[in-house]
Structure 1
Amino acid sequence: MTTDTPQPAVTKSDEQWREQLSPEEYAVLRQAATERPFTGEYTDTKTVGVYRCRACDTELFRSDTKFESHCGWPSFYAPSDSDAVILKEDNTLGMRRVEVICANCHSHLGHVFHGEGYPTPTDDRYCINSISLTLEPAE
């Protein structure tokens, strides 16, 4: 987990982000809102492919690390590359959590939880908002 966050490779003004993203996407990706559980496009998706950041198209997760956690959001046990995401302490809402942000554009993706007993190789659950992602199906 980092306390010193490096500068993003993709930088846009707030106005540019608002032009690119829908109001719902903007709220989650740029303002760290959370979509309602069990409403996201990829919550139950089993399609094989690559999940990318909706804001900058960076590869973040692969379908072979996606698992059913029944938490209401897509869950992955690891990013496709550890450098693709930044983990940042999040003490909002009176809780201690770890926020997951895109390393390339610093968009909010969701949170990661460790040690919850999920049967995954990492014991991690990256709980990611569907609206933060796009899915590129495998050919």
Structure 2
Amino acid sequence: MSTNYNINKTEEEWRKELSPEQYHILREAGTERPHTGKYNMHFEDGEYHCAACNTKLFDSDSKFESGCGWPSFDNAIDGAIEYKQDKTLGMIRTEILCANCGGHIGHVFDDGPTETGQRYCVNSASINFNK
């Protein structure tokens, strides 16, 4: 990952601060199994923050049920997300990273059902919810 972030830590520091699942997702671009994340069917009013650095990434009013098995949002907080082309798994996707620490959040797709047309497909382990 890039080192041009506001928060730069060694991988050893990240391992100490994050759970094994969070480390795998946020630092190694892993993915949690669909329909297993705690925020998939979570619809309280509040804010979703990066689990690694607490940067606000999404508001609850942008969350919707997509049926994909992961928390989905149709918009992100301006400047909170970095977008990177991802050519893994034999396809071209757009990876979303926390712009503050470089943590892998998930991917964004142009197939959302709302007026933005976006579906930010997010790993629950990469975010925390604040009321």
* Counterpart selection for 1:109 from 84, 99, 105: 105
Aligned partner of 2:22 in structure 1 is 25
Aligned to 1:46: 43
Aligned to 1:15: 12
| Structure 1 position 120 matched with structure 2 position 124 | no
User: 1:101 deviation in Å?
Assistant: 0.2
* Alpha-carbon distance in structure 2 between the residues aligned to 1:129 and 1:47: 17
Specify the alignment match of 1:135 in structure 2.
129
* Deviation at residue 92 of structure 1 after TM alignment: 0.5
Residue 59 (1) aligns with residue 56 (2):
yes
What is aligned with 2:65?
Answer: 68
SS at match of 1:43: coil
Q: Choose from 88, 95, 118 the match for 2:91.
A: 95
Q: Which runs of 5+ in 1 are unaligned?
A: none
Instruction: Output one character per residue of 1:74-124: Cα deviation in whole Å (capped at 9) or x when no partner.
Output: 00001022x10001000001111000000000000000001x2x3212100
For residues 30 and 6 of structure 1, what CA distance do their matches in structure 2 show? Answer: 12
**RMSD between superposed Cα atoms in Å:** 1.1
- Counterpart CA distance in 2 for 1:102 and 1:88 is 11
CA distance in 2, matches of 1:6, 1:67: 32
> Partner of 2:25: helix, strand, or coil?
helix
Deviations 1:47-96 (A, max 9, x none): 10000000000000000000110100000001022x10001000001111
Identity of aligned pairs, percent? 52
Give 1:21 shift: 0.4
Distance, in Å, in 2 between the alignment partners of 1:122 and 1:63 is 15
Detail structure 1 runs of 4+ shifted over 6 Å in the superposition: none
Q: TM-score, normalised by structure 2?
A: 0.96
